[in-house]
Structure 1
Amino acid sequence: MSLAPRAVIVHRRTEYEELLARHGTRGQAAFFLSSRGRSIDEVARRHDHTQQALRNVASAVPLTWRSSRVERADLDRFLFAPEDVVVVVGQDGLVANTAKYLSGQPVVGIDTDPGRNPGVLVRHRSADTAHLLRTATGTERADELTMVEAVTDDTQRLLALNEIYLGPPGHQTARYHLDTGGSDPGEAQASSGVLVGTGTGATGWLRSLWVERGSTLPMPAPCDPRLLWFVREAWPSPATGTSKVAGELERGQELRLTVESDRMVVFGDGMETDALELTWGQSIRLGIAATSLRLVT
């Protein structure tokens, strides 16, 4: 007999909860903000909206289902199961933070503050949760969002929904050899890092580089099996070049980087605390991940 689905509700601490954790009481937090010309009322209002959304979602889980809750800080220690339906309650970025730990489970994005969040990934309201859970197990109601994957030569693997960054931990300058595949010999480079992004990430960090460069490469859509990559601030010298600073990757194509510095880090979707570390001589391959994010529509 197959297991009943499990609704996994993903959330993060609100700004209000973080203020209380830092200052101890609401009064102390209110004094801290008021001394800087700000009010705690707006922060408390957003906290109340989030708590109400979490209550609505929890009450919408069918009685025959199992359920669990996990905070963003604990995602790297949480074991998702194949039969899970993941309900992300919060902002668009929380969906991206969650995606790297999944392997095809359907995801429902619940917006806790409509009008304040862009709602690109958290597309639904908490009142719609019951209906969404009933339809979430069907593949016809989900967008398959392309993800980017990084695999090191010692088999460490990192997934991201928006982008993966490779570079020095302090965002200064690192040296490496960049290989774009095929018969091309590649190029030794010194830069502040390399960014490889998806169509979902085309509204964030990837777009800023795309605009800054005046790139003519067509920006991918979230479901397109295509990635764009950019080298940040490549430095020309007798030993390093700047001829390969942007490009695109289709399915089956890879970007390969071999480290020629003491230390480089690799992280996805801004999660610097969950990064891979590379040292001199190690290599890493980046391309389209076999796994995609199934975002329930």
Structure 2
Amino acid sequence: MLQERKLILVTRKTRLQELKEKYCTLGQAKFYIEHLGERFDDYVTEDTLYSEAVKTVLAQLKQAGRVQLLERSMLATYLFSHDDVVIVLGQDGLVANTLKYLKGQPLIAINPIPDLFDGVLLPFCVADISDVLRTVLNNNMGIKHVSMAQVTTNLGDSLLAVNDVFIGPKSHTSARYEICIGENKEQQSSSGVIVSTGLGSTGWFKSILAGASGIAQRPLHKQLSKGLAWDSSDLYYTVREPFPSAVTQTNLVFGKISNQMTLKLTSKMAENGVIFSDGMENDPIQFNAGTTATICLCKTQGRLVV
């Protein structure tokens, strides 16, 4: 063994596994998929390739040290040690989901199926694992830093976001809140607020800019459409579908949250208000009447091995 540090392999269920859980048997899942005109073999092939990748990576890791296999759904409750080495077996979303639960531990991102997954955040393939792990355990690895957003509330709740934070209604209804950025504040009614990091600037944030640009034709879209650096010290917030009324305004609908700056939102909703990050809707903070959420740049950065 190179070292006694624990190696955490993070995986997620394949689409086939999720279908089997939903429909109880593979036969039922196959009937449903083929009834809709899709090829069930595509799901089987993906599942087979991913399972083989897990077995290969797991075997290599066991030769190097103690290994903990961790499924995506357990990330929110798992306590990582400061010297853990974390290995994520793609896709990109799983990397983002994992980074926000770490506190500076190096993360090795592996693309299990390069022919199916683009892998923007997955610089390595399965065959690289032994060499990459050796460089990490010997502290010779290159690191790409990833900025994160941090949310805290007056009730003591907190969460981090690698891509973006959503603050708004649990369902397709309007959110009521007070927004405050710097010295400016106003009452708003909208379908929610998105706060994006540099890494998230090519995702949800980009689609919001595209829609806004199509309506307003503002030049800012061209400046930001290619995204920001992953370690950018700026966050951007956007208000989705703001509604003007006698008591709600639409002036603070887009802006930058620079270092040392905060965005504050105070809920005016009796119920169904939530805050979640990076699409993890099953790990939310409640955002109901009286709750004030403060969003700022996190002091800790994610460390992606490259």
Q: Which residue of 1 aligns with 2:262?
A: 254
Pairing 1:130–2:130 present: yes
**Contact (CA 8 Å) 2:147, 2:198: kept in 1 or not?**
yes
Q: Which residue of 2 aligns with 1:277?
A: 286
SS of the aligned residue for 2:76 comes to helix
Counterpart Cα distance in 1 of 2:266 and 2:249 = 15
The alpha-carbon deviation at position 27 of structure 1 amounts to 3.4
Pairing 1:207–2:216 present: no
**Contact (CA 8 Å) 1:4, 1:83: kept in 2 or not?**
no
Q: After TM superposition, list the pairs within 5 Å mapping 1:1-297 onto structure 2.
A: 4-61=4-61, 63-137=63-137, 138=139, 141-181=142-182, 184-214=183-213, 216=220, 218=224, 219-263=227-271, 264-297=273-306
Counterpart Cα distance in 1 of 2:18 and 2:41 = 15
- Taking structure 1 as reference, are residues 149 and 284 closer, same or farther at Cα in structure 2, changes over 3 Å only? same
TM-score, with normalisation over the residues of structure 1? 0.93
Q: Deviations for 1:107-138, whole angstroms, at most 9, x for unmatched residues?
A: 11111221322211122101101111112253
Counterpart Cα distance in 2 of 1:192 and 1:94 = 26
Letter in 2 for 1:89: L
Counterpart Cα distance in 2 of 1:195 and 1:268 = 9
**Contact (CA 8 Å) 1:62, 1:130: kept in 2 or not?**
no
**Contact (CA 8 Å) 1:9, 1:68: kept in 2 or not?**
yes
Structure 1 unmatched ranges of 5 or more: none
The alpha-carbon deviation at position 22 of structure 1 amounts to 3.0
SS of the aligned residue for 1:94 comes to helix
Q: Deviations for 1:231-276, whole angstroms, at most 9, x for unmatched residues?
A: 1111111211111100011211110111112132100011111100
Counterpart Cα distance in 2 of 1:177 and 1:225 = 25
**Contact (CA 8 Å) 1:220, 1:227: kept in 2 or not?**
no
**Contact (CA 8 Å) 1:161, 1:201: kept in 2 or not?**
yes
**Contact (CA 8 Å) 2:90, 2:119: kept in 1 or not?**
no
TM-score, with normalisation over the residues of structure 2? 0.90
Counterpart Cα distance in 1 of 2:211 and 2:249 = 20
SS of the aligned residue for 1:208 comes to helix
Counterpart Cα distance in 2 of 1:162 and 1:205 = 9
Counterpart Cα distance in 1 of 2:179 and 2:159 = 19
**Contact (CA 8 Å) 2:110, 2:126: kept in 1 or not?**
yes
Letter in 1 for 2:57: V
Percent identity reads 35
**Contact (CA 8 Å) 1:50, 1:90: kept in 2 or not?**
no
**Contact (CA 8 Å) 1:190, 1:235: kept in 2 or not?**
yes
The alpha-carbon deviation at position 222 of structure 1 amounts to 1.1
RMSD, matched Cα: 1.7
Residue correspondences, number: 293
* Deviation larger for 64-73 or 213-222: 213-222
Counterpart Cα distance in 2 of 1:290 and 1:59 = 36
Counterpart Cα distance in 2 of 1:139 and 1:208 = 38
**Contact (CA 8 Å) 2:135, 2:141: kept in 1 or not?**
no
**Contact (CA 8 Å) 1:262, 1:279: kept in 2 or not?**
yes
Counterpart Cα distance in 2 of 1:42 and 1:274 = 30
The alpha-carbon deviation at position 277 of structure 1 amounts to 0.2
Q: Deviations for 1:24-72, whole angstroms, at most 9, x for unmatched residues?
A: 4433333332222223211111111111111121122263521100111
Letter in 2 for 1:123: P
Q: Deviations for 1:180-205, whole angstroms, at most 9, x for unmatched residues?
A: 01xx2411111111100011112211
Q: Deviations for 1:53-107, whole angstroms, at most 9, x for unmatched residues?
A: 1112112226352110011111122111111111111210111111221111111
Counterpart Cα distance in 2 of 1:122 and 1:233 = 34
